[in-house]
Amino acid sequence: MEAGSQDRNLPASERKLNKARADGQVSRSEDLAHLAVLGTGALALLLLAPILFEQLRQGMVRQLVFDASSVQSVGYMLTRLGDATGVGIVGCTVFAAIVLSAAIFAAVASGGWVASLQPLMPDFSRINPFVGIGNLFSRRKMVSTGKMLLLTTLLFSVAGIFLSHGLVGIASTLVQPSNAAIAQLVQWITNGIGLMLLVLLLAALVDVPLQSFLHRGEMKMSFQEVKDEGKETNGNPQTRARMRQKQRELSQRASVSKVPKADFVVMNPTHFAVAIRYDEKTMQAPQVISKGADLLAMRIRDIAKSHNIPVLQSPMLARALYANAELDQDIPSALYTAVAQVLAYVYRLRAALRGEGAMPGAVPQPLIPLELDPLSRAGAGIANAAGAAA
Protein backbone atom coordinates (compact mmCIF):
# COMPACT_ATOMS: atom_id res chain seq x y z
CA MET A 1 0.00 0.00 0.00
CA GLU A 2 2.82 2.38 0.86
CA ALA A 3 4.65 1.66 -2.37
CA GLY A 4 1.56 2.39 -4.40
CA SER A 5 0.99 5.66 -2.58
CA GLN A 6 4.45 6.82 -3.63
CA ASP A 7 3.70 6.46 -7.37
CA ARG A 8 3.80 9.89 -8.94
CA ASN A 9 0.60 9.64 -10.92
CA LEU A 10 -1.26 12.70 -9.61
CA PRO A 11 -1.08 16.02 -11.48
CA ALA A 12 1.11 18.67 -9.90
CA SER A 13 -0.65 21.22 -7.75
CA GLU A 14 -0.52 24.91 -8.56
CA ARG A 15 1.60 25.44 -5.45
CA LYS A 16 4.26 22.98 -6.63
CA LEU A 17 4.30 24.46 -10.14
CA ASN A 18 4.75 27.95 -8.68
CA LYS A 19 7.55 26.72 -6.41
CA ALA A 20 9.28 25.03 -9.35
CA ARG A 21 8.97 28.27 -11.35
CA ALA A 22 10.51 30.20 -8.45
CA ASP A 23 13.42 27.73 -8.58
CA GLY A 24 13.82 28.29 -12.32
CA GLN A 25 12.26 24.98 -13.38
CA VAL A 26 9.97 25.74 -16.31
CA SER A 27 9.23 24.28 -19.70
CA ARG A 28 11.74 25.45 -22.31
CA SER A 29 11.83 24.48 -25.99
CA GLU A 30 15.32 24.36 -27.50
CA ASP A 31 13.91 24.01 -31.00
CA LEU A 32 11.93 27.22 -30.60
CA ALA A 33 15.08 28.99 -29.42
CA HIS A 34 17.03 27.63 -32.42
CA LEU A 35 14.29 28.76 -34.78
CA ALA A 36 14.19 32.24 -33.26
CA VAL A 37 17.97 32.70 -33.30
CA LEU A 38 18.58 31.30 -36.78
CA GLY A 39 15.49 32.85 -38.33
CA THR A 40 16.04 36.29 -36.83
CA GLY A 41 19.75 36.10 -37.60
CA ALA A 42 19.10 35.21 -41.23
CA LEU A 43 16.53 38.00 -41.60
CA ALA A 44 18.88 40.48 -39.94
CA LEU A 45 21.65 39.48 -42.33
CA LEU A 46 19.39 39.97 -45.33
CA LEU A 47 18.37 43.41 -44.12
CA LEU A 48 21.65 44.64 -42.66
CA ALA A 49 24.14 43.06 -45.06
CA PRO A 50 23.53 45.53 -47.94
CA ILE A 51 23.91 48.50 -45.58
CA LEU A 52 27.03 47.07 -43.93
CA PHE A 53 28.60 46.09 -47.24
CA GLU A 54 27.97 49.58 -48.60
CA GLN A 55 29.63 51.12 -45.57
CA LEU A 56 32.58 48.76 -45.89
CA ARG A 57 32.85 49.48 -49.63
CA GLN A 58 32.94 53.21 -49.02
CA GLY A 59 35.51 52.70 -46.27
CA MET A 60 37.63 50.55 -48.57
CA VAL A 61 37.48 53.22 -51.27
CA ARG A 62 38.66 55.82 -48.78
CA GLN A 63 41.44 53.52 -47.55
CA LEU A 64 42.78 53.03 -51.07
CA VAL A 65 42.94 56.77 -51.87
CA PHE A 66 46.38 58.23 -51.18
CA ASP A 67 47.69 61.73 -51.69
CA ALA A 68 50.60 63.76 -50.45
CA SER A 69 48.83 64.97 -47.31
CA SER A 70 47.78 61.45 -46.26
CA VAL A 71 51.29 60.11 -46.81
CA GLN A 72 52.86 62.92 -44.80
CA SER A 73 50.38 62.55 -41.92
CA VAL A 74 51.47 59.60 -39.78
CA GLY A 75 48.25 59.22 -37.79
CA TYR A 76 45.87 59.59 -40.72
CA MET A 77 46.00 55.90 -41.66
CA LEU A 78 45.25 54.90 -38.06
CA THR A 79 42.24 57.23 -38.11
CA ARG A 80 40.96 55.55 -41.27
CA LEU A 81 41.50 52.12 -39.73
CA GLY A 82 39.63 53.21 -36.60
CA ASP A 83 36.69 54.45 -38.67
CA ALA A 84 36.46 51.13 -40.54
CA THR A 85 36.72 49.19 -37.30
CA GLY A 86 33.98 51.33 -35.73
CA VAL A 87 31.62 50.56 -38.62
CA GLY A 88 32.27 46.84 -38.18
CA ILE A 89 31.76 46.97 -34.41
CA VAL A 90 28.49 48.89 -34.77
CA GLY A 91 27.21 46.41 -37.33
CA CYS A 92 28.15 43.40 -35.17
CA THR A 93 26.62 45.01 -32.07
CA VAL A 94 23.31 45.66 -33.81
CA PHE A 95 23.27 42.12 -35.18
CA ALA A 96 24.08 40.63 -31.74
CA ALA A 97 21.38 42.76 -30.06
CA ILE A 98 18.75 41.57 -32.55
CA VAL A 99 19.70 37.90 -32.13
CA LEU A 100 19.85 38.22 -28.33
CA SER A 101 16.40 39.82 -28.25
CA ALA A 102 15.04 36.97 -30.36
CA ALA A 103 16.55 34.36 -28.02
CA ILE A 104 15.04 36.07 -24.95
CA PHE A 105 11.65 36.37 -26.65
CA ALA A 106 11.68 32.67 -27.58
CA ALA A 107 12.54 31.66 -24.00
CA VAL A 108 9.76 33.83 -22.56
CA ALA A 109 7.27 32.58 -25.16
CA SER A 110 7.88 28.91 -24.32
CA GLY A 111 8.13 29.07 -20.53
CA GLY A 112 7.30 32.60 -19.41
CA TRP A 113 9.50 35.10 -17.64
CA VAL A 114 11.32 33.69 -14.60
CA ALA A 115 13.40 35.97 -12.37
CA SER A 116 15.38 33.44 -10.35
CA LEU A 117 19.05 32.99 -9.50
CA GLN A 118 18.50 29.43 -8.26
CA PRO A 119 19.77 27.77 -11.49
CA LEU A 120 23.06 29.67 -11.05
CA MET A 121 23.59 28.40 -7.51
CA PRO A 122 26.20 25.61 -7.11
CA ASP A 123 24.65 22.16 -6.98
CA PHE A 124 27.18 19.46 -6.08
CA SER A 125 24.74 16.70 -6.99
CA ARG A 126 25.35 17.60 -10.63
CA ILE A 127 28.93 16.33 -10.41
CA ASN A 128 27.83 13.00 -8.95
CA PRO A 129 28.62 10.44 -11.70
CA PHE A 130 25.86 8.07 -10.58
CA VAL A 131 23.26 10.83 -10.80
CA GLY A 132 24.62 11.81 -14.20
CA ILE A 133 24.41 8.25 -15.50
CA GLY A 134 20.86 7.99 -14.19
CA ASN A 135 19.88 11.21 -15.93
CA LEU A 136 21.18 9.82 -19.23
CA PHE A 137 18.41 7.24 -19.18
CA SER A 138 15.61 9.50 -17.95
CA ARG A 139 12.46 9.89 -20.01
CA ARG A 140 13.30 13.48 -20.92
CA LYS A 141 16.80 12.51 -22.15
CA MET A 142 15.47 9.58 -24.16
CA VAL A 143 12.83 11.75 -25.79
CA SER A 144 15.38 14.52 -26.42
CA THR A 145 17.84 12.05 -27.99
CA GLY A 146 15.16 10.53 -30.22
CA LYS A 147 13.94 13.98 -31.25
CA MET A 148 17.50 15.11 -32.06
CA LEU A 149 18.18 12.01 -34.17
CA LEU A 150 14.94 12.53 -36.08
CA LEU A 151 15.63 16.23 -36.61
CA THR A 152 19.22 15.55 -37.75
CA THR A 153 18.04 12.90 -40.20
CA LEU A 154 15.40 15.24 -41.57
CA LEU A 155 17.82 18.16 -41.92
CA PHE A 156 20.42 16.01 -43.72
CA SER A 157 17.76 14.58 -46.02
CA VAL A 158 16.45 18.06 -46.93
CA ALA A 159 20.02 19.34 -47.36
CA GLY A 160 20.93 16.41 -49.60
CA ILE A 161 17.89 16.92 -51.83
CA PHE A 162 18.50 20.66 -51.96
CA LEU A 163 22.19 20.27 -52.89
CA SER A 164 21.49 17.63 -55.52
CA HIS A 165 19.02 19.91 -57.26
CA GLY A 166 21.13 23.07 -56.94
CA LEU A 167 24.64 21.99 -57.87
CA VAL A 168 24.02 22.39 -61.60
CA GLY A 169 22.83 25.95 -61.12
CA ILE A 170 25.78 26.81 -58.88
CA ALA A 171 28.23 25.36 -61.41
CA SER A 172 26.72 27.59 -64.08
CA THR A 173 27.72 30.71 -62.12
CA LEU A 174 31.32 30.14 -63.22
CA VAL A 175 30.50 31.32 -66.72
CA GLN A 176 28.21 34.18 -65.68
CA PRO A 177 29.13 37.79 -65.01
CA SER A 178 30.10 38.54 -61.43
CA ASN A 179 26.94 40.50 -60.54
CA ALA A 180 24.63 37.80 -61.91
CA ALA A 181 26.68 35.02 -60.31
CA ILE A 182 26.61 36.70 -56.89
CA ALA A 183 22.87 37.35 -57.14
CA GLN A 184 22.20 33.72 -58.07
CA LEU A 185 24.45 32.48 -55.24
CA VAL A 186 22.67 34.71 -52.71
CA GLN A 187 19.30 33.46 -53.93
CA TRP A 188 20.46 29.85 -53.64
CA ILE A 189 21.72 30.36 -50.08
CA THR A 190 18.51 32.18 -49.14
CA ASN A 191 16.39 29.29 -50.39
CA GLY A 192 18.54 26.83 -48.43
CA ILE A 193 18.20 28.81 -45.23
CA GLY A 194 14.44 29.07 -45.80
CA LEU A 195 14.13 25.28 -46.10
CA MET A 196 16.18 24.80 -42.94
CA LEU A 197 14.00 27.27 -41.04
CA LEU A 198 10.87 25.50 -42.28
CA VAL A 199 12.15 22.22 -40.83
CA LEU A 200 12.96 23.96 -37.54
CA LEU A 201 9.48 25.53 -37.50
CA LEU A 202 7.85 22.11 -37.79
CA ALA A 203 10.14 20.80 -35.04
CA ALA A 204 9.27 23.76 -32.77
CA LEU A 205 5.54 23.24 -33.30
CA VAL A 206 5.98 19.72 -31.95
CA ASP A 207 8.60 20.51 -29.31
CA VAL A 208 6.78 23.31 -27.45
CA PRO A 209 3.77 21.20 -26.32
CA LEU A 210 6.05 18.19 -25.89
CA GLN A 211 8.30 20.03 -23.42
CA SER A 212 5.27 21.29 -21.53
CA PHE A 213 3.94 17.71 -21.29
CA LEU A 214 7.31 16.37 -20.11
CA HIS A 215 7.66 19.14 -17.55
CA ARG A 216 4.25 18.45 -16.05
CA GLY A 217 5.10 14.75 -16.04
CA GLU A 218 8.25 15.45 -14.00
CA MET A 219 6.23 17.62 -11.62
CA LYS A 220 3.65 14.90 -10.90
CA MET A 221 3.07 14.17 -7.24
CA SER A 222 2.43 11.07 -5.15
CA PHE A 223 -0.58 10.77 -2.88
CA GLN A 224 1.66 11.27 0.16
CA GLU A 225 3.11 14.47 -1.31
CA VAL A 226 -0.39 15.82 -1.90
CA LYS A 227 -1.30 15.05 1.72
CA ASP A 228 1.89 16.67 3.03
CA GLU A 229 1.31 19.75 0.91
CA GLY A 230 -2.25 20.00 2.17
CA LYS A 231 -0.98 19.90 5.74
CA GLU A 232 1.59 22.59 5.00
CA THR A 233 -0.98 24.79 3.30
CA ASN A 234 -4.00 24.33 5.54
CA GLY A 235 -2.48 22.84 8.66
CA ASN A 236 -3.01 19.45 10.26
CA PRO A 237 -6.67 18.30 10.02
CA GLN A 238 -6.79 17.33 13.71
CA THR A 239 -5.39 20.71 14.69
CA ARG A 240 -7.92 22.49 12.48
CA ALA A 241 -10.75 20.45 14.02
CA ARG A 242 -9.61 21.37 17.53
CA MET A 243 -9.36 25.03 16.55
CA ARG A 244 -12.88 24.99 15.09
CA GLN A 245 -14.20 23.31 18.24
CA LYS A 246 -12.52 25.93 20.40
CA GLN A 247 -13.95 28.70 18.22
CA ARG A 248 -17.44 27.22 18.56
CA GLU A 249 -17.06 27.03 22.34
CA LEU A 250 -15.93 30.66 22.51
CA SER A 251 -18.83 31.68 20.28
CA GLN A 252 -21.29 29.82 22.47
CA ARG A 253 -19.93 31.45 25.62
CA ALA A 254 -20.22 34.86 23.99
CA SER A 255 -23.79 34.11 22.95
CA VAL A 256 -24.92 33.80 26.60
CA SER A 257 -25.36 37.57 26.70
CA LYS A 258 -28.19 37.21 24.15
CA VAL A 259 -30.28 34.89 26.32
CA PRO A 260 -32.46 37.75 27.74
CA LYS A 261 -33.72 38.40 24.19
CA ALA A 262 -34.94 34.81 23.73
CA ASP A 263 -38.58 33.79 23.51
CA PHE A 264 -37.93 30.49 25.29
CA VAL A 265 -35.16 28.05 26.25
CA VAL A 266 -35.48 24.33 25.56
CA MET A 267 -33.39 21.84 27.59
CA ASN A 268 -32.48 18.16 27.71
CA PRO A 269 -33.00 18.51 30.76
CA THR A 270 -29.51 19.37 32.04
CA HIS A 271 -27.01 18.41 29.33
CA PHE A 272 -28.12 20.82 26.56
CA ALA A 273 -29.81 24.21 26.52
CA VAL A 274 -30.87 26.13 23.41
CA ALA A 275 -32.32 29.66 23.40
CA ILE A 276 -34.77 30.42 20.56
CA ARG A 277 -35.91 33.81 19.33
CA TYR A 278 -38.46 34.63 16.65
CA ASP A 279 -39.49 38.03 15.32
CA GLU A 280 -41.98 37.64 12.53
CA LYS A 281 -41.23 41.18 11.26
CA THR A 282 -37.51 40.71 10.76
CA MET A 283 -36.99 36.93 10.60
CA GLN A 284 -38.07 34.37 8.06
CA ALA A 285 -37.76 31.57 10.62
CA PRO A 286 -36.89 31.13 14.32
CA GLN A 287 -33.20 31.44 15.14
CA VAL A 288 -30.90 29.96 17.76
CA ILE A 289 -29.30 32.90 19.58
CA SER A 290 -27.51 30.90 22.28
CA LYS A 291 -26.72 27.27 23.04
CA GLY A 292 -24.46 25.33 25.36
CA ALA A 293 -23.79 22.02 27.05
CA ASP A 294 -23.31 20.97 30.68
CA LEU A 295 -22.17 23.95 32.81
CA LEU A 296 -22.88 26.41 30.01
CA ALA A 297 -26.38 24.95 29.69
CA MET A 298 -26.94 25.54 33.39
CA ARG A 299 -25.83 29.13 33.03
CA ILE A 300 -28.23 29.70 30.11
CA ARG A 301 -31.04 28.23 32.22
CA ASP A 302 -30.26 30.45 35.20
CA ILE A 303 -30.07 33.61 33.07
CA ALA A 304 -33.38 32.72 31.37
CA LYS A 305 -35.15 32.19 34.72
CA SER A 306 -33.76 35.44 36.11
CA HIS A 307 -35.34 37.25 33.12
CA ASN A 308 -38.66 35.34 33.33
CA ILE A 309 -38.02 33.52 30.07
CA PRO A 310 -39.81 30.13 29.86
CA VAL A 311 -37.47 27.16 30.25
CA LEU A 312 -39.06 24.05 28.74
CA GLN A 313 -38.03 20.41 28.88
CA SER A 314 -38.01 18.77 25.43
CA PRO A 315 -35.03 16.40 25.22
CA MET A 316 -35.23 15.38 21.55
CA LEU A 317 -35.82 18.93 20.33
CA ALA A 318 -32.99 20.28 22.49
CA ARG A 319 -30.55 17.67 21.16
CA ALA A 320 -31.60 18.23 17.55
CA LEU A 321 -31.30 22.03 17.78
CA TYR A 322 -27.95 21.83 19.55
CA ALA A 323 -26.49 19.47 16.95
CA ASN A 324 -27.97 20.93 13.75
CA ALA A 325 -28.66 24.66 14.26
CA GLU A 326 -26.00 27.37 13.98
CA LEU A 327 -25.90 30.49 16.10
CA ASP A 328 -27.78 33.49 14.68
CA GLN A 329 -28.97 31.39 11.72
CA ASP A 330 -32.40 30.08 10.78
CA ILE A 331 -33.15 26.68 12.26
CA PRO A 332 -33.21 23.72 9.83
CA SER A 333 -36.44 23.54 7.85
CA ALA A 334 -37.05 19.99 9.14
CA LEU A 335 -37.47 21.45 12.64
CA TYR A 336 -39.94 24.23 11.70
CA THR A 337 -43.01 22.25 12.78
CA ALA A 338 -41.50 21.14 16.11
CA VAL A 339 -40.36 24.65 17.05
CA ALA A 340 -43.72 26.11 15.91
CA GLN A 341 -45.54 23.79 18.35
CA VAL A 342 -43.34 24.96 21.23
CA LEU A 343 -43.72 28.61 20.19
CA ALA A 344 -47.51 28.23 20.17
CA TYR A 345 -47.34 26.80 23.70
CA VAL A 346 -45.15 29.75 24.83
CA TYR A 347 -47.60 32.28 23.32
CA ARG A 348 -50.55 30.62 25.13
CA LEU A 349 -48.53 30.58 28.37
CA ARG A 350 -47.78 34.31 28.10
CA ALA A 351 -51.41 35.07 27.33
CA ALA A 352 -52.51 33.07 30.39
CA LEU A 353 -50.02 34.93 32.61
CA ARG A 354 -51.52 38.22 31.39
CA GLY A 355 -54.98 36.92 32.26
CA GLU A 356 -56.06 36.64 28.65
CA GLY A 357 -56.72 32.90 28.56
CA ALA A 358 -56.50 29.58 30.30
CA MET A 359 -53.22 28.00 31.25
CA PRO A 360 -52.01 25.52 28.62
CA GLY A 361 -51.50 21.87 29.44
CA ALA A 362 -48.25 19.92 29.39
CA VAL A 363 -45.29 21.06 27.38
CA PRO A 364 -45.59 19.55 23.89
CA GLN A 365 -43.05 16.90 22.93
CA PRO A 366 -42.92 17.24 19.14
CA LEU A 367 -41.70 14.44 16.93
CA ILE A 368 -38.18 14.95 15.62
CA PRO A 369 -36.79 13.23 12.51
CA LEU A 370 -34.50 10.48 13.76
CA GLU A 371 -31.67 11.59 11.49
CA LEU A 372 -31.57 14.96 13.33
CA ASP A 373 -31.38 13.47 16.82
CA PRO A 374 -27.76 12.58 17.74
CA LEU A 375 -28.90 10.07 20.36
CA SER A 376 -31.15 8.26 17.89
CA ARG A 377 -28.37 8.18 15.29
CA ALA A 378 -25.95 6.72 17.83
CA GLY A 379 -28.49 4.07 18.84
CA ALA A 380 -29.14 3.14 15.22
CA GLY A 381 -25.40 2.82 14.60
CA ILE A 382 -24.96 0.50 17.58
CA ALA A 383 -27.94 -1.61 16.47
CA ASN A 384 -26.55 -1.89 12.94
CA ALA A 385 -23.14 -2.91 14.26
CA ALA A 386 -24.71 -5.54 16.52
CA GLY A 387 -26.76 -6.90 13.62
CA ALA A 388 -23.70 -7.10 11.40
CA ALA A 389 -21.74 -8.90 14.12
CA ALA A 390 -24.58 -11.39 14.58
| Domain residue spans of the chain | 2-116+124-229, 256-381
H or E segment to which residue 333 belongs:
none
**With pLDDT > 70 as the criterion, what percentage of the chain qualifies?**
75
- Neighbouring residues of 235: CB distance < 8 A, sequence distance ≥ 6: none
What local confidence, expressed as pLDDT, does residue 390 receive? 47
Integer Cα distance of 231 and 282 in angstroms: 42
Among residues 318, 309, 312, which one has the least CA distance to residue 361?
312
- CA distance to 25, 100, 126, 167, per residue, from 31 (Å): 18, 16, 24, 29
The gap between the terminal CA atoms of the chain, to the nearest Å, is 31
Q: Which residues contact 240 (CB under 8 A, 6 or more apart)?
A: 234
Answer yes or no: CATH 3.40.50.2300 is held by domain 256-381.
no
Q: What is the pLDDT of residue 385?
A: 46
pLDDT grade, residue 335 (50/70/90)?
A: very high
Q: Are strands 272-277 and 287-293 parallel, antiparallel or unpaired?
A: antiparallel
Residue 176 DSSP label: S
Q: What is the pLDDT of residue 2?
A: 40
Please say whether the dihedral angle defined by the alpha carbons of residues 311, 312, 316 and 321, taken in this order, is positive or negative.
negative
Give one word for 235, left, alpha or beta, with left for phi > 0 and alpha for psi -120 to 50.
Answer: left
Taking only the tens place, the pLDDT of each residue in 213-252 is 877 777 777 777 777 776 666 655 666 667 766 766 676 6
Query: Residue 149: what pLDDT?
Result: 86
> What are 48-59's pLDDT values in tens digits?
777 777 777 777
